[in-house]
């Protein structure tokens, strides 16, 4: 059918909406709509004279997200969708791409910010976050704002970044019109509620009464699938030697009807179960060993290991335990929980508990994301994961990572696991003719196995350079034969390795970057992309610092200029991180 002309008595965005709705409607749907509107006229509504309403443009709303895993970005999209229904015209900005001065032109601002690790901003947002917190940040006088914070109560600095941004926007003159909400891992419900309240507060006056939403089955933009897949384990191999003090499992999963549509750089979220022996010990300590129903729930669906400050406060509130209340009152609880788990709280401060009180100390057991270590173009209907078993001792008790030991100890070849695809559009491969530099010590090498397989399968002409590190060459060289084959067939151009326990002084990947600094800077000056995957706490920071020093040395730059050179790579999206 012919499009609705621009001269129609509607605002431009309303004309676009009507064209999208009516243009895709079937003849039956259009006939129904025509009859419905005619019926309104016949009912007498048309006989009441009304002045023609002047078309009013939608009011702008700026939405900024700071995301590491993609959750803040997804919520920004949800907010934008809701905002359009309330007479708002949203613009979504990744904090990594934001020019801070642009915020001064905003009338309404929402920031959705995740906290990473021990109170740090997401890696890609560090530059802008530091500018916002710095002395040169612009005034934001009168700008209406609200902040939605995402975090993890397992960390002491829960939602610290969202809290700091909220305080900073107010200090810069912004007007807080929506109170901040701090969300834990089970954020979906609280976030949806906050978004619903926020759009009502931020909407123009009377906007809610002027919006008519018509939906004839318009297909929304493609969204990540939330489907949970069941996969068969076809390979379960410890890549470390029997003499290593580590256990790193190569897990190959096969999918009936085809693997999820993953791309190199994506992850799979693995739905693990708790160690039954740990659950038994916890129930015994709580005096609930005979509760089989609670045991089944704790094994399969509750996080029974994480000890957060919130859990300690709930314990004190529900039980009235004198010494736990004193621990909180003395300001010592935050320090006490470090290195401890829920079982330590129950055993150190025993008191009569029932199932409801114990359950209240837990939260839903979240899946654990692992980078996919394969390319569908090479492995077909499989997906490969690389999982390192986390085991350590603290406060006199042996500890185990939930998901990693579920994989290492309790699932076997021929068994089945549940997974969900987690896309990562910020860590994909560039054009096939672009050179790439990959830094991935330990299990951080997983996505780069996918990168190399993909480039081999597509015949990419760009060169590939891998920096890998682990403890020992003999016992911990993960995927050694894969890399040797890739070097032979040209899928991998060169490789530098660092094995920290093989030399008197420990050598890590950042030291190899320094050793190869001249060639590395030459690659980057020629347009190469630089990828880092692995530990966020130390490795990622050390690698970036080594690259800054490399620029300073090779190009004879002052430290500030070298920092700007690396910051430019980040702004150009040629310095990319997937860290944890």
DSSP letters spanning 269-315: EEE----HHHHHHHHHHHT-TT-HHHHHHHHHTEE-S---HHHHHHH
**325 and 350 fall within a common domain:** yes
- Domain assignment present for residue 222? The answer is no
* pLDDT classification of 118: cutoffs 50, 70, 90: confident
Q: At what angle do helices 188-202 and 71-84 cross, to 10 degrees?
A: 40
User: What is the arithmetic mean of pLDDT over 412-430?
Assistant: 96
**202 and 84 fall within a common domain:** yes
- Report the distance separating Cα 435 and Cα 431, nearest Å: 9
- Domain assignment present for residue 310? The answer is yes
Asked which of 399, 422, 445 is the last residue of a domain, the reply is 422
User: What is the arithmetic mean of pLDDT over 265-278?
Assistant: 98
Q: Is the dihedral of CA 258, 261, 264, 268 positive or negative?
A: negative
* pLDDT classification of 154: cutoffs 50, 70, 90: confident
pLDDT in the model for residue 236: 98
- Report the distance separating Cα 376 and Cα 384, nearest Å: 10
* pLDDT classification of 490: cutoffs 50, 70, 90: very high
**198 and 241 fall within a common domain:** no
- Domain assignment present for residue 80? The answer is yes
Range of the domain at 83: 59-210
Residue 367 exposed, middle or buried by CB count within 10 Å (0-12, 13-18, 19+): middle
pLDDT in the model for residue 222: 43
* pLDDT classification of 26: cutoffs 50, 70, 90: low
- Written in H, E and C, the secondary structure of 342-368 is HHHHHHHCCCCCCHHHHHCCCEECCCE
User: What is the arithmetic mean of pLDDT over 1-26?
Assistant: 64
**387 and 257 fall within a common domain:** yes
- In this prediction the pTM is 0.84
Number of domains in the chain: 5
* pLDDT classification of 25: cutoffs 50, 70, 90: low
**415 and 441 fall within a common domain:** no
- Domain assignment present for residue 216? The answer is no
**444 and 574 fall within a common domain:** yes
Condensed to tens digits (0 to 9), the pLDDT of residues 212-269 reads 444 344 344 344 567 899 999 999 999 999 999 999 999 999 999 899 999 999 999 9
The percent of residues above 90 in pLDDT, for the chain, comes to 82
pLDDT at 49 over 50: no
- Report the distance separating Cα 403 and Cα 275, nearest Å: 9
First and final C-alpha spacing in the chain: 52
Condensed to tens digits (0 to 9), the pLDDT of residues 298-316 reads 999 999 999 999 999 999 9
CATH number at 238 reads 2.40.30.10
Asked which of 338, 362, 386 is the last residue of a domain, the reply is 362
For residue 358, what are the contacts with CB-CB under 8 A and spacing of at least 6?
286, 288, 294, 346
User: What is the arithmetic mean of pLDDT over 114-139?
Assistant: 92
* pLDDT classification of 88: cutoffs 50, 70, 90: very high
- Report the distance separating Cα 535 and Cα 117, nearest Å: 10
pLDDT at 6 over 70: no
- Per the DSSP assignment, residues forming a β-bridge with 400 are 391
CATH number at 294 reads 1.20.990.10
């Amino acid at each position: 059918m012919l499009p609705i002309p621009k001269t129609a008595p509607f605002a431009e965005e309303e004309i676009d909406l009507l064209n999208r709705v009516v243009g895709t409607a079937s003849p039956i749907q259009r006939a129904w709509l025509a009859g419905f509107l005619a019926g309104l006229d016949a009912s007498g509504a048309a006989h009441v004279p009304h002045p023609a309403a002047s078309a009013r443009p939608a009011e702008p709303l700026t939405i900024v997200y700071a995301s590491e895993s993609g959750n803040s970005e997804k919520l920004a999209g949800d907010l934008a969708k809701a905002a359009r229904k309330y007479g708002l015209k949203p613009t979504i900005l990744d904090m990594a791409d934001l020019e801070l001065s642009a915020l001064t032109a905003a009338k309404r601002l929402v920031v959705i910010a995740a906290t990473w690790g021990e109170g740090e901003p997401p890696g890609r947002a560090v530059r802008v976050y530091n500018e916002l917190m710095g002395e040169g940040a612009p005034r934001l006088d009168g700008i209406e704002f609200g902040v939605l914070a995402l975090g993890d109560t397992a960390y002491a600095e829960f939602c610290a970044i969202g809290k700091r941004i909220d305080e900073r926007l107010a200090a810069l003159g912004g007007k807080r019109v929506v109170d901040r909400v701090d969300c834990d891992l089970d954020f979906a419900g609280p976030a949806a509620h906050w978004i619903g309240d926020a759009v009502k507060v931020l909407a123009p006056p009377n906007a809610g009464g002027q919006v008519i939403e018509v939906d004839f089955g318009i297909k929304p933009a493609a969204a990540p699938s939330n489907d949970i897949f069941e996969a068969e384990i076809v390979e379960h191999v410890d890549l470390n030697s029997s003499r290593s003090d580590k256990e790193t499992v190569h897990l190959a999963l096969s999918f009936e009807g085809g693997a999820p549509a993953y791309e190199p750089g994506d992850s799979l979220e693995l739905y693990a179960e708790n160690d039954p022996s740990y659950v038994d010990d916890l129930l015994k300590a709580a005096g609930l060993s005979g509760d089989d129903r609670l045991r089944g729930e704790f094994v399969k669906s509750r996080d029974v290991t994480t000890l957060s400050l919130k859990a300690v406060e709930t314990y004190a509130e529900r039980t009235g335990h004198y010494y736990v209340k004193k621990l909180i009152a003395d300001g010592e609880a935050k320090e006490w929980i470090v290195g401890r788990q829920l079982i330590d709280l129950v055993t150190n401060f025993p008191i009569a508990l029932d199932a409801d009180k114990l359950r209240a100390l837990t939260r839903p057991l979240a899946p654990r994301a692992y980078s996919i270590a394969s390319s569908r173009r090479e492995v077909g209907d499989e997906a490969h994961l690389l999982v390192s078993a986390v085991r350590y001792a603290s406060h006199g008790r042996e500890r185990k990572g939930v998901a990693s030991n579920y994989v290492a100890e309790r699932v076997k070849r021929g068994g089945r696991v549940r997974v969900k695809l987690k896309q990562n559009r910020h860590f994909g491969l560039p054009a096939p003719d672009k050179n790439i530099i990959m830094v991935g010590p330990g299990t951080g090498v997983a996505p780069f196995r996918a990168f190399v397989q993909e480039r081999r399968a597509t015949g990419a002409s760009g060169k590939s350079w891998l920096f890998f590190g682990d403890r020992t060459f003999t016992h911990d060289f993960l995927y050694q034969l894969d890399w040797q084959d890739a070097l032979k067939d040209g899928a991998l151009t060169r490789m530098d390795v660092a094995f920290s326990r093989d030399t008197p002084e420990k050598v890590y990947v950042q030291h190899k970057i320094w050793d190869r600094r001249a060639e590395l800077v030459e690659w980057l000056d020629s347009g190469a992309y630089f990828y880092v995957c692995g530990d966020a706490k130390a490795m990622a920071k050390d690698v970036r610092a080594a690259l800054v020093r490399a620029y300073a040395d090779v190009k004879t730059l002052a430290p500030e200029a070298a920092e700007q050179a690396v910051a430019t790579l980040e702004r150009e999206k040629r310095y990319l991180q997937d860290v944890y």
